[in-house]
Amino acid sequence: QVQLVESGGGLVQAGGSLTLSCATSGRTLSTYAMGWFRQAPGKEREFVAAISGNGANTYYADSVKGRFTILRDNAKNTVLLQMKSLKPEDTAIYYCAAKITYYSTTYYSKDVYYDYWGQGTQVTVSS
């Protein structure tokens, strides 16, 4: 079992930056591939970014590529999502997710693969 707690959301103007943090507890973080997803009002949850267990491989949705960066610090059991050049369309609840994996170099972009989810943190970007 692992618990995920997101933080760092808030209100920011378009063009601004935010860093979301996902603190994990339970099993060793390196045994999990991690991902960030988001859900805007009236829309389905969508993939944002993913990172492999060893941090060597990352993958991004086209909508955030070049603006968002996913990082992990396994020693601190933390995964970050650095967001810059934010746009109003980035407004959503952002969720951290973890997938148990024995393949340290693999990442996952589909939410159905993930085993654990955080409660979410709200990000609002004003125009």
pLDDT in tens, 5-64: 999 999 999 999 999 999 998 777 668 999 999 999 999 999 999 999 999 999 999 999
pLDDT per residue over 68-120, tens digit each?
999 999 888 899 999 999 999 999 999 999 998 887 899 999 999 999 999 99
Name every residue whose Cβ is closer than 8 Å to that of residue 93 and which is 6 or more positions away in sequence. Answer: 38, 39, 40, 120, 121, 122, 123
Q: Which helix (H) or strand (E) holds 5?
A: strand 2-7
pLDDT for res 30:
67
pLDDT for res 29:
66
pLDDT for res 75:
87
The radius of gyration of the chain's CA atoms, rounded to the nearest angstrom, is: 13
pLDDT for res 61:
98
pLDDT for res 13:
98
Which amino acid, 38? R
